[in-house]
Structure 1
């Protein structure tokens, strides 16, 4: 706001999101600054001094919270020093007890080199963290469409971008295991979203428009991944009335074999986006589902909705 157009860009963004969408507004904040002389001095002193934190980081974080009232604070840049240097406990105590968002705010786990995957409202652990199993604590898979960079690379080649099928796979596995997907796009230096990123984002939106009920407002099932068809992942509705089976690989003979499910004789199976009821047969060791031929064309993944 001191130079250039003198615009409060964060304030304008916050207002737009809150007035035009139902999205919760959050902010990313990096504590680490590579070339800040105060930080360099503290580092030279092996972090026995904390001038950078007391004069810059803590006042800045408090100003961000009091001015913009974010409901998510995504902290980063903590890895060179412990939470004691960053005064994370002191800031978080203020955030949760005194700040204007104390009753609604959520934070991640990057508040000191000793904290990721141990403390925080949700764990991020490392970039591109996707354990493939259900974890007891809420977690997030923060990843990038460009497999090598969080920013925009003019020299990136096609094979270095996730395909739409690859992105949907990341989403399905993450949600089945109780996680949240953060999918990063790197804009150009003048703020443009390049066509390949736009295509991937629109593709994800189109897939979710049909299959979103298997993702939104769901919770992990008792079993996450099928025992016979390892490319099928499960979620269930919050009221546990419906089970969703997300199919990442369509079976060649259009018959899906599942070993983790036993359903009642009155259960109905639907393929989301397809109008007819899907026939099935239950045996002692497997469930056979007879998928409609050609219904899979052009899709990165498919979802079965199973009434319990």
Structure 2
């Protein structure tokens, strides 16, 4: 219970980092291929995020328990020394054997949920690689990892195949820091904090090794695993202005886009020309942003698997999706996969419930753009980018299982001949002008027996 509470504290702490964007200028991409892919990405709206690694066996917060910073949200077993804990954590590689891993089940479930793009943790800060890298033996295909003999041992290849076959846009989460690399956390010194543990100016050859290591790993991801649409970089403290941690991102991106034309790069929380879209974490902006953005959020509390974690209600997630989309953003929803390679039952249940809602209301979500006033009272507005249809999505209260018999749209001023329909109901609705808006009457049969819960969508055309 204590671990869950502290992970929640960590999550809340991360939301505060959104303030990094305040006053930070957004760089508008000039590459036509990247601009086209960004436009396509903005059409998809709903993505699937997975944190998974050896830490999933124990229910640890991914990576952070081996960071030796003295802050409340980094917790580990204090009955043993840090060095012993660190060795035990690294040795999780020797017991990682996800024999129930089935990438097609993941992809089918995500498709059923209405998700359209996928981001996977190829490597988190701890440095464990979920692909068959040639740069380190700290990987799932290592001979020390029992899963290396499995038919699907290179899990990244299997995952990208499964999601690619179902037309998902593919994203590679990649941690810029690597706490297992001897060229980032050198064995010559203690692990002081999350940063490189030596002075780069005094040991330039060591940093050069790390830059080459990073370049080569990204190259592997861009060349050995089919089409990749998004390079989702984490670890924003690895930046030139912080202790000189310049990994030469220009060189990395030029190489990556040479193999994957139009690649979207998300150097998150850093700004500049390689943050093609921004990623508020566990947070929804109060107002629309006028550049591409995505809220990344956990389905439960912890990013990685935690056996007794508390999941958000489906209603809350539906409302978050609608709120985000009405403000012009995308929603990247994360689940922590367990040590066996399975999505937890509660996660499966919620994804199926989300899919049932999206099956009725997806028209009001996909390929839409924001339209003022975005949100008023219990209504969120979206507009289809091609046909101009406007959607007014009514968000229910917790004690409101059925839609109301009438819905007031205060900001809709329809021209003569405008029609109003209801997603999940055949036929047009009656309405009357009231002041500067319209009062729409819902069919009694729909009110009594709605095809979905949580939110209902009117279409004005």
TM-score of the superposition, structure 2-length normalised?
0.59
The change in CA–CA distance for 1:117 and 1:88 in structure 2 (over 3 A counts) is closer
- 1:152 is matched with 305
- In structure 1, the residue matched to 2:321 is 171
Tell me the alpha carbon deviations over residues 166-219 of structure 1, each in whole angstroms, 9 at most, x when there is no partner. Answer: 001111111111111100011111111111100110011111111101111222
Which one has more relative contact order, counting CA pairs under 8 Å at least 6 apart? 2
Tell me, in whole angstroms, the C-alpha distance in 2 between the residues paired with 1:216 and 1:281: 29
Equivalent position of 2:405 in the other structure: 254
Query: Is the CA contact 2:412–2:436 (under 8 Å) kept in the aligned structure 1?
Result: no
Q: What is the Cα deviation at residue 14 of structure 1?
A: 2.4
CA distance in 1, matches of 2:173, 2:404: 47
Q: Quick check: 1:225–1:233 contact (8 Å CA) kept in 2?
A: yes
Q: Aligned equivalents of 2:235 and 2:436: distance in 1?
A: 50
Matching residue of 1:107: 265
Deviation of the 1:71 alpha carbon: 1.5
- Residue 71 of structure 2 corresponds to which residue in structure 1? none
**Shift, 1:151, TM fit:** 1.0
CA contact (8 A) 1:217 1:237 kept: yes
- Quick check: 2:394–2:457 contact (8 Å CA) kept in 1? yes
1:116 positional shift: 4.5
| SS state at 1:39 partner | coil
Distance 1:34 1:267, change over 3 A: same
- 1:123 maps to 2:123: no
Structure 1: segments with no counterpart, 5+ residues? none
Of 25, 30, 43, which aligns to 2:170? 25
Q: Which residue of 1 aligns with 2:255?
A: 94
Q: 1:224 aligns with which of 360, 374, 378?
A: 374
Q: Does 1:211 align with 2:386?
A: no
1:59 correspondence with 2:59: no
**Pairing partner for 1:141 from 295, 317, 336:** 295
- C-alpha distance in structure 2 between counterparts of 1:139 and 1:35, whole Å: 31
Superposed CA offset, 1:242-287 (max 9, x none): 1011111269852212221111231111111122422111133332
**Aligned counterpart, 2:115:** none
Conserved? CA contact 1:53–1:85, under 8 Å: no
Following TM superposition, where does structure 1 have runs of at least 4 consecutive aligned residues deviating by more than 6 angstroms?
A: none
**TM-score, with normalisation over the residues of structure 1?**
0.86
Aligned to 1:143, the other structure's residue is in SS state strand
Contact 2:360 2:451 in 1 (8 A): no
Structure 2 counterpart of 1:291: 442
Contact 2:360 2:452 in 1 (8 A): no
SS of 1:133's partner is coil
d(CA) in 2 for partners of 1:287 and 1:224? 17
Q: Point out the more displaced range, 247-256 or 202-211.
A: 247-256
1:234 and 2:371 correspond = no
SS in 1 for 2:304: coil
| More divergent stretch after superposition (252-261 vs 202-211) | 252-261
Change (3 A) 1:178 1:38: same
